């Protein structure tokens, strides 16, 4: 290799890593110097006040929103590391008609390495590559060994499952281990972005599995992992369907619109300071100065499919607020001619996820199966104060 080429490659690597502390980029203004925006911020106006009129404008505004989300709320998406995947032997459970295989992902940066373990399960009788659901296991103890039977709910509907522990990508509410071990203080992201990065790494590995159609990837997660799933879908255009279940604050719920005993910005930044950008708490008493709100994160997913599963009794996750962010994000889907790619589904439940809703919506997205009337049904009055803007005609 000629020296100039080596230099260019090194430079590219350095630029990739410096996103957190980029010397050329002006430092983001502190909260106190940002303007107050009382309603949900307008996706169709750039930061300098000019209007978004075309799809090309939206692509630029989308980049601006990505930067704002990273600069203020989540920290920056870490780079893609070197990865080696080791596949275990596949074994089929004849009764459940499920084939399972373990993947071990070795992720490396310089002399640091970490491991992510993924169990993949697909319908053993599938004739062609199938869509895949990326699903973090949610347990506070050591991850339970997944059984073939537990995957059959999905494989029976023609969907493979990749199950993994997001704590391999980043421990909960700590800035040590996982991706932090790989990149040290070169990254500034909180755990929600680190977990989004973890989803992306699992998808990298699934792209090499021939039984799986990685162009039909679904990301989901419940509660804190619902927030992570939304971040994953917003920041990776390979993801076809994003399903953040009861994701609440830091997920699909607005910071600006609080209707009951919903989780507020100061609650989440106080109890889980390592989930977000280290400086996020500067907005505790300045919520209206946050240049984004969560409808903009949802809008980053557009025009790719997005389902919002919510529970009307799950007050902490602000189901009423999600109806407003949903309506606001839908304006962007409408602008992009993709209004049918975003949906919401309320159940009269507390903090409980539903596989059925995810599977029905996946059937709609991938197989054009009609949806029941329960999808898209609003439970609350439209809040006229939520936003006064709309998609440009
Ligand atoms: C806490 C937290 C929520 C989170 C939830 C969970 O209640 O305040 O933001 O969604 O834990 O992950 O179960």
State the CATH number of the domain containing residue 198. Answer: 3.40.50.1820
| Cα separation, 337 vs 102, whole angstroms | 40
Q: Which structural domain, as residue segments, surrounds residue 357?
A: 50-367
Number of neighbouring beta carbons within 10 Å of residue 260: 10
Say yes or no to pLDDT of 122 above 60. Answer: yes
Distances (CA, A) of 69 to 4, 51, 80, 273, 295: 36, 20, 19, 16, 11
Place of tokens 């995810």: 358
**Distance between Cα 224 and ligand 1 center (Å):** 5
Confidence of residue 142 (pLDDT cuts 50, 70, 90): low
In a domain, 73, yes or no: yes
* 16, part of any domain: no
Query: Dihedral, CA atoms, 243, 246, 252, 257, nearest 10 degrees?
Result: 160
Q: Could you tell me the pLDDT band of residue 17, with boundaries at 50, 70 and 90?
A: very low
Cβ atoms < 10 Å from Cβ of 389: 14
Closest among 24, 68, 45 to 280, alpha carbons compared: 68
| 104 token code pair | 């071990």
**Cβ–Cβ under 8 Å, residues 137 and 131:** no
DSSP letter assigned to residue 48? T
Residues 22-71: pLDDT tens digits?
556 789 999 999 999 999 999 999 999 999 999 999 999 999 999 999 99
Q: pLDDT tens across 240-253, in order?
A: 999 999 999 999 99
Dihedral of CA atoms 120, 121, 127, 129 in degrees, nearest 10, equals -30
- Sign (positive or negative) of CA dihedral 359, 364, 368, 373: positive
| Average pLDDT along the chain | 93
Percent of the chain with pLDDT over 90: 89
Q: Does residue 212 form part of some domain? A: yes
Helix (H) or strand (E) holding 178: helix 178-183
**13 lies in some domain:** no
Distance (Å) from CA 95 to ligand 1 centroid: 37
23 versus 222: the higher-pLDDT residue is: 222
Q: How many domains does the structure of the chain reveal?
A: 1
Determine the Cα–Cα distance for residues 78 and 70; give it in Å rounded to an integer: 11
For ligand 1, mutation pick of 73, 224, 244 (most atoms within 8 Å of CB): 224
In a domain, 35, yes or no: no
Instruction: Confirm whether 377 is domain-assigned.
Output: no
Average pLDDT of the residues in 111-128: 97
Q: What is the DSSP string of 317-370?
A: G-HHHHHHHHHHHHHHHHHTT-GGGEEEEEES-SS---HHHHHHHHHHHHH-PP
Beta strands in the chain (DSSP E): 82-87, 91-93, 98-109, 112-123, 130-136, 160-164, 212-222, 241-245, 305-311, 342-347
Instruction: Summarize pLDDT for 377-391 with one digit per residue, the tens.
Output: 999 999 999 999 999
What per-residue confidence (pLDDT) applies to 116?
Answer: 97
Q: Is residue 392 part of a domain?
A: no
Closest ligand 1 atom to 246 CA: 10
Q: Is residue 32 part of a domain?
A: no
DSSP-derived secondary structure letter, 166: G
For the residues 326-332, what does the mean pLDDT come to? 98
pLDDT of residue 144: 64
Q: What is the pLDDT of residue 138?
A: 73
Which residue has 């889980």 as its token pair? 272
Write the residue with the smallest CA distance to atom 13 of ligand 1.
223
User: What separation in Å is there between the alpha carbon of 352 and the centre of ligand 1?
Assistant: 12
What's the 128 CA to ligand 1 centre distance in angstroms? 38
Ligand 1 pocket residues where CB is under 6 Å = 223-224, 248-249, 263, 268, 271, 316
Residue nearest to atom 8 of ligand 1 (CA): 268
Q: How far is CA 350 from the centre of its chain?
A: 22
Give the residue, out of 231, 263, 350, with the most ligand 1 atoms within 8 A of its beta carbon, to mutate for a pocket test: 263
- Mean pLDDT, residues 205-222: 97
Residue 50's CB is within 10 A of a number of other CB atoms, namely 10
Cis peptide leading into residue 58 (ω within 30°):
no
How far CA 97 is from CA of 123, 145, 205, in Å, comes to: 6, 18, 23
Q: Which long-range contacts (CB under 8 A, 24 or more apart) does 62-66 make?
A: 62/299, 62/300, 65/292, 65/296, 65/297, 65/299, 65/300, 66/234, 66/235, 66/300
Q: Which two tokens stand for residue 374?
A: 């329960």
Is the per-residue pLDDT at 289 higher than 80? yes
User: Looking at residue 23, what is its pLDDT?
Assistant: 55
Tens digit of each residue's pLDDT (9 = 90 or more) over 149-197: 999 999 999 999 999 999 999 999 999 999 999 999 999 999 999 999 9
d(CA 361, CA 100): 25
pLDDT for residue 330: 98
| pLDDT score of 393 | 85
Residue 42 is classified by DSSP as P
Which range is least confidently modeled, 5-14, 76-85, 152-161? 5-14
Residue to mutate (ligand 1; options 223, 251, 351; most atoms within 8 A of CB): 223
Residue 139 — very low, low, confident or very high, per pLDDT cuts 50/70/90? low
């Amino acid at each position: 290799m000629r020296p100039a080429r080596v230099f260019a490659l090194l430079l590219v690597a350095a630029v990739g890593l410096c996103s957190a502390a980029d010397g050329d980029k002006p430092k983001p203004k502190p909260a106190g110097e940002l303007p107050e925006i009382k309603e949900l911020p307008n996706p169709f106006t750039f930061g300098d006040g000019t209007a978004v009129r075309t799809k090309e404008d939206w692509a630029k505004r989308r980049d601006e929103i990505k930067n704002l989300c990273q600069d203020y709320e989540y920290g920056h998406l870490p780079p893609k590391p070197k990865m080696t995947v080791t596949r275990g032997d596949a074994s089929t459970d004849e009764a459940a008609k499920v084939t399972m295989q373990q993947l071990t992902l070795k992720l490396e940066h310089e002399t640091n390495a970490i491991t992510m373990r993924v169990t993949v399960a697909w319908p053993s009788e599938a004739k062609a590559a199938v869509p895949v659901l990326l699903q973090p296991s949610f347990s506070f103890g050591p991850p339970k060994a997944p059984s073939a039977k537990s995957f059959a709910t999905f494989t029976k509907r023609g969907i493979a499952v990749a199950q993994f522990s997001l704590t391999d990508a980043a421990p909960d509410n700590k800035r040590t281990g996982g991706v932090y071990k790989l990149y040290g203080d070169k990254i500034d992201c909180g755990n929600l972005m680190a977990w989004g990065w973890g989803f992306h790494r699992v998808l990298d590995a699934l792209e090499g599995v021939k039984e799986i159609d990685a162009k039909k990837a679904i990301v989901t997660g419940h509660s804190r992992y619902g927030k992570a799933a939304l971040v994953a879908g917003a920041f990776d255009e390979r993801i076809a369907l994003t399903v953040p279940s009861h994701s609440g604050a830091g997920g699909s719920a607005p910071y600006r619109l609080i209707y009951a005993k919903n989780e507020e910005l100061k609650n989440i930044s106080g109890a889980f300071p390592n989930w977000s950008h280290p400086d996020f708490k500067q907005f505790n008493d300045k919520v209206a100065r946050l240049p984004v709100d969560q409808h903009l994160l949802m809008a980053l997913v557009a025009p790719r499919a997005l389902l919002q599963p919510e529970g009307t009794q799950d007050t902490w996750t602000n189901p009423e607020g999600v109806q407003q962010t949903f309506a606001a994000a839908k304006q962007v889907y409408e602008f992009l001619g993709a209004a049918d790619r975003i949906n919401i589904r309320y159940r009269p439940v507390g903090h409980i996820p539903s596989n059925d809703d995810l599977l029905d919506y996946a059937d709609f997205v991938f197989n054009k199966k009609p949806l029941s009337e329960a999808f898209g049904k609003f439970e609350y009055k439209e809040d006229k104060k939520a936003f006064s803007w709309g998609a440009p005609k």
